[in-house]
Chains A and B, each alone.
Chain A
Amino acid sequence: MDDVMSRDLISDLPQSIIESILTRLPIRDAVRTSILSSKWRYKWATLTQLVFDEKCVILSNDRCKVEDGLVNFITRTLFLHQGPIHKFQLTTTHLQCCPDIDQWLLFLSRNDIKELVLELGEGEWFRVPSCLFNCKKLTRLDLFRCEFDPPPSFKGFLCLKSLNLHQVLVSPEAIESLISGCPLLESLALSYFDSLALTIRAPNLKFLCLEGEFKDICLENTPLLVAMSVAMYMTDDIAEHFEQSSTCNFTRFLGGVPRLERLIGHIYFTKFLSIGDDVGRLPITYAHLKVVELNQVSFEDMKEILVVLRLITNSPNLRELQISGSSNTLAAIDAPDLDFWEDECPSNCTFKQLRVVRMTDMSGVPHEMEFIKFLLANSPALETMSISPCVYVMDGRLNMLIELLRFRRASAQAEILFIQD
């Protein structure tokens, strides 16, 4: 008779718990549990989440062997699998275009697939087969390095909540209509598209992440947007196109997002927003905006400074602000127009909730210092202001410090940290 302490407690657990355990193992280990005992033979076969990567097969110097091994592994897993498959993830650099992938997708489309992640290798991009567009229950789609060409009859994924396209070859009209055709879409990420001009209409969208060369972006209908992160790489064509445009990008992009809580702008985003006629005082208040991070802001471009000012003066609940500069002190400019600060800053503006400010890559140009002065004078709740000088600026640091010392602080407990690398 077995001692109570050495009972088998695991084999009779409910299948839902077994699944929860096996899903946390690499799939290879999960399949191997079939050998443990007769009860375990097919416990792995009803897993609804399948995650494949190169760890499934023996690593070898022979690329073909790895490819074949991986294809074999996945095909066999799917063949022996029973029941619905809700999540299928494949991440590998070893497979690119391969006819087996089409077959797997066909199989998945017949098995209620909900989450699909395909991250394939460089080389010839995989062309997404039409069966993908029949996956009616899809809630999440992540595609890396694919060609995506929906048939004309395709109306959208009605259940899709999360879409992530990275280096995907697709026409702008197709993307726009895909986004509009997914009424439940909450999270959208588009990266590394070439010169995309896009209007986004997504009434339930909460999270937006854009990275790449975008010719033009307009957020037409995104009232529920909570967080966004944008990086816009600028080529000369795009820059030229921008110079000629007069529509105000600020309102086109940030005009319809009253619920925004986090805004992160990477390279050229501030420049993008500065294009177009200045709208003056904004009619919109970002009552929920708590965290703003803007990178590569040029404090020599008055229009960019205006963008920053407009943004923060219309965000009464701003808590955290991070700005990195990209000014070039070596390019001597004409005497800075310091009256600008008197003219443009609302005199009664206080940042009542602003706690933390980080200014990085500061070159010490006059407008940067004025901006810091403005923040210090108007932030009664400030706790930390940290300033990191740009690595190229060595001589100007002492001057920066001397100026900093003089600035009045509205907050008695504000700490100013000057961070040397």
Chain B
Amino acid sequence: MGSTSTKIKLRTSDQKVFEVEKAVAVQSQTIKYIYENGCPDSVIHVHSVSGDILSKILDYCKKHVNSAAGKEDISPEELYEWDANFVKVDQNTLFDLILAANCLKIESLLDLTCQTVANMIKGKRPEEIRTTFNIKNDYTIEAEEAVRRENKWAFDMLGGVGTMVIEELADDTMSKCVTNTKSRVCVIAANQIVMMRSISKLANKKSIDVYKQPQNPTTPRIKESVKQRNVGTGFIELFFHFKCKM
């Protein structure tokens, strides 16, 4: 009939054939280019994508095409939710989707999947990231030291975002600082003598994590395990982690 019902045939690496509407298929710039510069009736080979992955990708493209064209009554928030669920897959699938989106040049899908991976890295400590992605740490101790030294300026503090260092302050000043800040993490310096009263006052503040760097470890209040880290600055910092209630 009209050009809206033109179909394009796609053959995947495992020899599966998909027939899709042109409007859906040309979300991929690669397919669009091949279609426009080749024989319109022939089958397009997508060598690097398997049937399962292509099927998922076509679902994505269809959803987005329909929502943009108004064929489906879906609000931007609902589409956002749908996208969020779309990427709730195992890592194998996620990375296959990334590679396929890259190869097929589907920008919005590539953005979505890369953002998902970025969210899995953000705010995590290196050990956690290695565990998540099965990255093997092949640094020798000396090499790791060297990297930390080289990037000391980036490794200097735990957490980064919203970390506040309080040094040599009186109790009430400290609690004032904490009240006025949006910080989530508060580090008290090694030589600070902090009264337990202040710590609990701080801890009662909404979701503030209090880290203490004392010379002597352990008090009975500590609920979580003591974590020890050598940050290459020559002394050992001990972190007491209080999680406090909202």
- A interface residue numbers (CB < 8 A to B): 2, 4-11, 13-14, 16-17, 20-22, 24-26, 28-29, 31-38, 40-41, 55-56, 58-61, 72-73, 76, 80
A73 to B134 CA separation, bound complex (whole angstroms): 29
Q: B114 near A: Cβ within 8 Å?
A: yes
* Cβ of B139 to closest chain A Cβ, rounded Å: 6
Quick one: which of B154-169 are within 8 Å of A by CB? 154-157, 160-166
Interface size class of B (residues with CB under 8 A): 35 or more
For B87-108 the 0/1 string (1 means CB < 8 A from A) is 0001110010011001000000
Majority SS at the chain B contact face:
helix
Are A59 and B102 neighbours in the complex by a CB distance under 8 Å?
Answer: no
Q: B6 near A: Cβ within 8 Å?
A: no
Residues of B within 8 A of A24 (CB): 114-115, 118
A5 to B133 CA separation, bound complex (whole angstroms): 11
Residues of B within 8 A of A58 (CB): 156-157, 160, 163-165
* Cβ of A38 to closest chain B Cβ, rounded Å: 5
Are B135 and A55 neighbours in the complex by a CB distance under 8 Å?
Answer: no
* Cβ of A321 to closest chain B Cβ, rounded Å: 23
For B125-163 the 0/1 string (1 means CB < 8 A from A) is 010011001111111000110011011011111001111
Are B135 and A28 neighbours in the complex by a CB distance under 8 Å?
Answer: no
Are B102 and A35 neighbours in the complex by a CB distance under 8 Å?
Answer: no
Number of A-B residue pairs, CB cutoff 8 Å, is: 118
Are A6 and B129 neighbours in the complex by a CB distance under 8 Å?
Answer: no
Majority SS at the chain A contact face:
helix
A22 to B134 CA separation, bound complex (whole angstroms): 18
A272 to B196 CA separation, bound complex (whole angstroms): 64
Kindly name the residue among A5, A16, A59 whose own CB sees the greatest number of chain B CB atoms within 10 A: A59
Are B133 and A26 neighbours in the complex by a CB distance under 8 Å?
Answer: no
Residues of B within 8 A of A34 (CB): 147, 150-151
Are A9 and B133 neighbours in the complex by a CB distance under 8 Å?
Answer: yes
Are A8 and B136 neighbours in the complex by a CB distance under 8 Å?
Answer: yes
Are A32 and B135 neighbours in the complex by a CB distance under 8 Å?
Answer: no
Minimum CB distance partner of A4 in chain B: B92
Q: B181 near A: Cβ within 8 Å?
A: yes
Residues of A within 8 A of B164 (CB): 58-61
A6 to B164 CA separation, bound complex (whole angstroms): 37
Are A14 and B153 neighbours in the complex by a CB distance under 8 Å?
Answer: no
Q: B199 near A: Cβ within 8 Å?
A: no
* Also in contact, A7 and B134, with CB within 8 A (given A20-B114, A58-B156): yes
Are A25 and B121 neighbours in the complex by a CB distance under 8 Å?
Answer: yes
Q: B207 near A: Cβ within 8 Å?
A: no
Which of B92, B115, B138, B181 makes the CB contact (< 8 A) with A37? B138
Quick one: which of B189-243 are within 8 Å of A by CB? none
* Cβ of B146 to closest chain A Cβ, rounded Å: 10
Excluding A37-B130, A73-B154, 4 further A-B contacts by CB distance (< 8 Å) are A5-B90, A17-B110, A35-B148, A76-B154
